[in-house]
Structure 1
């Protein structure tokens, strides 16, 4: 039995399909990066977009960028800011800068303000609402927030009771 396993493991018929599958995954990742990977290529952390981007478009000549979500997305950040993403987010993307941003708003006190520009400067991201801006550490954006709960989704998860011999 042991020699049969060794022979199957080294068989070219076993290895060849595995190599084809692995190379197709590598091709897909290289050929079609996700919106999060595109942001990283331009110097931004993946956490400036929430989980759930369904697609994107990028004109590499002009930098015109659009990202698409299933719908409007909102969540709180650090219990002091409420963010809202429209189903379509647009802007002009260049190295370490996202300008002419549309589709992202922040609630400050009682007012909703559109975030119009994000600049990556050293260890900080600067978010501008036109008349004012605020800086935040880049490492605050290493994780992608989730619609509805932001980065605090573990607190909202519910656990089903465990009953023997029952499937869910």
Structure 2
């Protein structure tokens, strides 16, 4: 009987440790979100598995273009993550004309991602976010290297 209890404890401990060793990108994917909604360069993250509250840490502010927009990630980004959705997002903004507006939510519906900025939203295909953008050049880094 004690061997069974010991085995169960070892299994539970190894499961907890492996769950804690997920990268922030793997946490996104586990929640049906593509890794590309966060740029490369995460240095650490915190996640409360009960509430879904998370914080992602970068060394610096990260900016890059996405189509006609410019996107900015602050050194700390936080929000609540659950299956297919990030809510109460803080630390991510988009430049529209001359004004920076906060992106407050990201939601996945099928093969579409919807980004909410106040009452407005914009949809993009999920496949565009399969890879994480890089600070400075975003999703277009390879194109800049090959066109040089």
Secondary structure of the residue aligned to 2:33 is: coil
- Aligned twin of 1:120: 108
Q: How do 1:42-121 residues align onto structure 2 when only pairs under 5 Å count?
A: 42-78=31-67, 80-121=68-109
Q: Larger % of strand: which?
A: 2
Aligned length: 131
Question: SS of the counterpart of 2:113?
Answer: strand
Q: Would you identify which runs of 4 or more consecutive aligned residues in structure 1 move more than 2 Å?
A: 28-31, 154-158
Quote the Cα distance in structure 1 between the aligned partners of 2:66 and 2:72: 11
Q: Which residue of 1 aligns with 2:23?
A: 34
- CA distance in structure 2 between the aligned counterparts of 1:49 and 1:140, rounded to whole angstroms: 12
Correspondence for 2:130: 142
Q: Shift in Å at residue 152 of structure 1?
A: 1.5
Unaligned runs of 5+ in 2: 1-16
Higher relative contact order (CA 8 A, sep 6+): 2
1:155 deviates by 4.1
SS state of the match for residue 49, structure 2?
coil
Post-superposition Cα deviations, 1:103-159, rounded to whole Å, max 9, x if no partner, equal: 00001122110000000111100100112111110001001100001012134449x
| TM-score, scaled relative to structure 2 | 0.83
Q: In structure 1, the residue corresponding to 2:80 is in which secondary structure?
A: strand
CA 1:30 to 1:94, structure 2 compared with 1: closer, same or farther past 3 Å? closer
Shift of 1:89: 0.3
TM-score (structure 1 length as normaliser): 0.74
Deviation at 1:42, TM superposition (A): 0.6
